[in-house]
Amino acid sequence: MRPSLVRPITFALLLFAGVSSSRAQDRRLQPADLFQLEYAADPQISPDGQWVAYVRQWSDNMTDRRYSNIWLVKADGSLHRPLTSGKFEETSARWSPDGKRLAYVSNRSGSAQLYVRWMDTGESYALTNGGPAPSAPTWSPDGTQLAFLQLVPKPALVIGKPITPPAGATWSPPPKYTDQLVFRFNGVGEVPPGFMHAFVVRADGGAARQVTSGDFHHGGTSFGGGSIDWTPDGAELVLSARRGDNPEFNSRETDLWAFAVKDGKARQLTDRFGPDQSPAVSPDGRLIAYTGYDDHHQGYQNTLLYVMNRDGSGKHVVSGTLDQSVANPVWSADGRGIYVQYDERGNTKVGLFALDGTFRTVVGNLGSGSSAYSGGSFSVARDGTVAFTLSTPTVPSQVAVTTGAAGATARTLTSLNTDLLSGRSLGQVEEISYNSSKDGRRIQGWIIKPPGFDPSRKYPFILEIHGGPFMNYGDRFDEEKQIMASSGFVVLYTNPRGSTSYGETFGNLIHHAYPGDDFFDLNSGVDAVVAKGYVDDKNLFVTGGSGGGVLTAWMIGHTNRFRAALAFYPVINWESFALTADMAPTAVNDWFAGFPWDNRENYEQRSLLSVVKNVKTPTLIMTGEEDFRTPMSESEQYYKALKMRGVDAVLVRVPEEPHGIRRRPSHEAAKLTTLAGWFEKYRAVVP
């Protein structure tokens, strides 16, 4: 596509013809609004069901950073107020069993520490002082102690005896040595040497005491994650651990262990090959619920809910009637049921399993608020009241509650973003379902139409593809797609084969075959929207991030129907990815049949370099310079291949950004301004 074909007028002249363009633009969501949007996360309902503490996430346009504080709201929606404030990162609010104190993690002292707040007086006290950040705070049943996870550092590896600089000299940083398989991790950077362990500390202060031991990760890893639960008698901590053979390479493999709080004596509770995680001990202490599966080295497997006796015997599946993955098990107060979170056809829900496996949905529409990806969280009070983060296509995340009774409706407690969105016109979201040209399989998706949509007009179109690939888009608010629609595009996002929330069989249609037939699912979606009559088929564009960046490159390697493409942080060469990415073990073990040198044909036929010779579409590639999930070298390979073939291409490298390009709000905004500018440049002239 040559510059002579580029439309010589701006989108604004087209979009707002016949109206005041400045007035119309003022009412549309803009990239700068990313600094104004706020989101609710991690709602924790008090044991008596009267209050909800939650994390309120926000951005500051002076420091270009994201922050979070702890807020409180009554379960009837009254007395909404901050418990903490300021430009800090504060997370993990957890109520004491009597509801009189709140534990949380805050970096207000300069480093992340564990705090306890007395709710009657408002006083807070730091329980930890220095060291790596604590995580997963969990109260003992009697409220006298807190357990938490923390990295125990190990000395950095050095080979040989380095020479020392003379007094007063300034030398460059020394070499970095590692013997770790994963030594850089996305969002973390250099992985610190050491192991994650469980600690306990008195809730009224004192020295923290390490409970677990050994050169193994307990509860989580050195780059995050994990959970702990106490037995009701306070005698043991139950958590997952990576104590098996070759734990770095067998990255999914974990087992559940119980550790005596008094002396750290360990009992292994599970021993199968596969992930066993998220333990939850029943109120009477007889049973332990957990999630996991027998690992068959598939790309996707449903994560199931299990129950076993406290001694590890009697293991059995509880969630077998639900063909979906479940997460975050929570016992009902009477010990007769287990709440879980799951996704079904692009909607995140809370469900309740009885111990006999019978199941019902409690509430739906959970979400993180910022993205159409699955997300959100919930908690449960003793009376069965459920607090959760509510998100719909036009509502960013709010705190909501429901009684948990069958047929009960949800009540929204917060009104975050009301002032901002009352002055903005959002794009209307419509669900779509269509047949894939590959095999007639039904594919679900969503269309966002530009604000002020007129069905008699023809609009430019964006196919936006999700990553993962084992993830799902759904009927949740998405700030980036809304801004794309506000720029005048009709935006389609779908769940092609391999997406989660449609059962294990659908998820595994791309097992050892990704990318591949998902092309037909996506291309058929474009056809279905064009057939509606309001899309200009001469102005079709494609974009996506991560796995969506992979499929963007795959699409333009198989069709020239798109005017331009933008691949955010893609994988291009599976061989180099499998040997450089932070998730290299998963690629080798689960996404492919083994190592590249043993399966070269499969790696090559799925490589995006295998179809780059077909590409004629102008393509921009945009990746964070600190992306260790899909390393910058992947983008550079694709960019140089395109340039040497004479395809119009631009490479954009974003400083300080890991995977996703969302660490700094200004960089997320730059994703959208770059996309609008690139697609505007290649827009075809329509007579």
In tens, the pLDDT along 565-618 reads: 999 999 999 999 999 999 999 999 999 999 999 999 999 999 999 999 999 999
> Per-residue pLDDT averaged across 226-239, rounded?
96
Residues β-bridged to residue 89: 68
pLDDT of residue 584: 92
pLDDT (tens digit, 9 = 90+) per residue, 431-443? 999 999 999 999 9
Confidence of residue 11 (pLDDT cuts 50, 70, 90): very low
In DSSP notation, 235-304 reads SEEEEEEE-SSSTTTSTT--EEEEEETTT--EEE---SSS-EEEEEE-TTSSEEEEEE------S--PPE
> Per-residue pLDDT averaged across 129-144, rounded?
94
Confidence of residue 684 (pLDDT cuts 50, 70, 90): confident
Q: How far apart are CA 654 and CA 624, in angstroms?
A: 5
pLDDT (tens digit, 9 = 90+) per residue, 651-660? 999 999 999 9
Q: How far apart are CA 127 and CA 374, in angstroms?
A: 34
Instruction: Please determine, for residue 13, whether its predicted confidence score (pLDDT) is greater than 60.
Output: no
493: phi then psi, degrees, rounded to nearest 5: -130, 135
- Residue reference for tokens 């390009």: 661
The hierarchical CATH code for the domain 3-32+422-572+607-681 is 3.40.50.1820
> Per-residue pLDDT averaged across 234-250, rounded?
93
In terms of Cβ atoms closer than 10 Å to its own Cβ (0-12, 13-18, 19+), residue 515 is buried
Who has greater pLDDT, 141 or 18? 141
In this structure, of 394-408, 478-492, 631-645, the range with the lowest mean pLDDT score is 394-408
Q: How far apart are CA 28 and CA 20, in angstroms?
A: 13
In SS3 terms, 123-153 reads as CEEECCCCCCCCEEEEECCCCCEEEEEEEEE
Instruction: Please determine, for residue 687, whether its predicted confidence score (pLDDT) is greater than 70.
Output: no
- List the alpha helices (DSSP H) in 336-492: 418-422, 479-486
Confidence of residue 16 (pLDDT cuts 50, 70, 90): very low
pLDDT of residue 3: 34
pLDDT of residue 131: 86
Type of residue found at 532: K
Pairing outcome for strands 429-435 and 442-448: antiparallel
pLDDT of residue 17: 33
Instruction: Please determine, for residue 229, whether its predicted confidence score (pLDDT) is greater than 90.
Output: yes
pLDDT of residue 224: 64
pLDDT of residue 222: 59
Confidence of residue 223 (pLDDT cuts 50, 70, 90): low
pLDDT of residue 686: 63
pLDDT of residue 408: 87
pLDDT (tens digit, 9 = 90+) per residue, 316-375? 999 999 999 999 999 999 999 999 999 999 999 999 999 999 999 999 999 999 999 999
Q: How far apart are CA 284 and CA 12, in angstroms?
A: 64
Q: Mean pLDDT score of the chain, rounded to an integer?
A: 93
pLDDT of residue 73: 98
The SS3 of residue 659 is coil
Instruction: Please determine, for residue 21, whether its predicted confidence score (pLDDT) is greater than 50.
Output: no
Instruction: Please determine, for residue 422, whether its predicted confidence score (pLDDT) is greater than 80.
Output: yes
> Per-residue pLDDT averaged across 77-99, rounded?
97
Domains of the chain by residue range: 3-32+422-572+607-681
pLDDT (tens digit, 9 = 90+) per residue, 523-565? 999 999 999 999 999 999 999 999 999 999 999 999 999 999 9
pLDDT of residue 226: 85
The SS3 of residue 47 is coil
> Per-residue pLDDT averaged across 13-32, rounded?
57
The answer to whether 203 and 96 are in contact (CB under 8 A) is yes
How many residues make up the chain in this entry?
687
pLDDT of residue 18: 33
Nearest CA to 669 out of 683, 657, 686 is that of: 657
